[in-house]
Structure 1
Amino acid sequence: MTLYPVPESVGRARRWFRKFMAPYGMNCSVDDCVLMISELVTNAVLYGEAEEAWRVRVEWWRVGGSLRVDVHNPGFPARVRMRRPAANDAHGRGLCLINALSDSWHAGPSRFGGTVVSFLLDDAWKPEDL
């Protein structure tokens, strides 16, 4: 999915994921997936930067029994870091949520240029669907 780098794209990404994944009867929490996608698309919109027009790319696919989600933006990979926000901080919890809800996550250079942040959920598919 390719999105404009605007706040409205966060809701669009949530709706599209729910719509496209509904027929698969996933074994994992779709709500958790949607929350993590929301956090990563929000970060991509807020922190992506380029001199020319750009887009946020969201990809998901099955890797064996796992679900992998990648979110790409033209920002700098070195800026991706998990913060330890204070209780009264309004921001900075996105990657903490990803870390808590996913089985693993990674940030690094995107094949499109810029940054990709990925998460993996093990056992996301029902055993009979494998």
Structure 2
Amino acid sequence: MLATRRPRTFAARLDSRTDSTPLARHLLRAYLAALPAGERYSDIAELLLGELFANAVQHSDAPADRLIEIRFAVTRDRLRIEVHDAAGTGRPTLHTATPDDEHGRGLLLVNELAERWGCCPRSGGIGKFVWALVAPVLPTVTA
């Protein structure tokens, strides 16, 4: 009988506050440190998680006491990051930022650095979650 391998998934709920973003990145670093070759995801994954978490805080219309859930799992050599919030039905959209814009580049970074990303309604119909797939960065070979 073949044993099926289930992905090791991590989930945590954090306060919906901007100052929770560093904690979210810290939890991701700890998760990746426990995985073989987890460091191959870390730089891009931390940046993407920071952007997605900050967007969930900034654009949420949920009550202040609602938590934001983060989830991580590696499957088929890809890291999946999810950020769940109880905000309304609004979906994140890409905007073209001008050089003078001080904000609005987060999703552009996600779009450029993630292998794929998207947004889905949460089960139960309250809120949404944004996900991103991160491919491992392969080590460079020096001669």
* TM-score above 0.5: yes
Q: Give the TM-score, by structure 2 length.
A: 0.79
2:53 maps to amino acid: V
Q: For residue 34 of structure 2, give the secondary structure of its aligned residue in structure 1.
A: helix
Distance 1:46 1:100, change over 3 A: same
Distance 1:94 1:52, change over 3 A: closer
Note if contact 1:77-1:107 (Cα within 8 Å) is conserved in structure 2: no
Q: RMSD in angstroms over aligned alpha carbons?
A: 2.1
Shift of 1:86: 0.8
Matched, 1:72 2:77: no
Distance 1:6 1:102, change over 3 A: same
Tell me, in whole angstroms, the C-alpha distance in 2 between the residues paired with 1:10 and 1:107. Answer: 19
Tell me, in whole angstroms, the C-alpha distance in 1 between the residues paired with 2:41 and 2:53. Answer: 18
Unaligned 5+ segments in structure 1 are none
**1:1-130 paired onto structure 2 within 5 Å:** 1-24=12-35, 25-26=37-38, 28-51=40-63, 53-111=65-123, 113-123=126-136
Q: Give the TM-score, by structure 1 length.
A: 0.86
Q: Which runs of 4+ in 1 moved over 6 A?
A: none
Q: Which has the larger radius of gyration?
A: 2
Identity of aligned residues (%): 26
Unaligned 5+ segments in structure 2 are 1-11
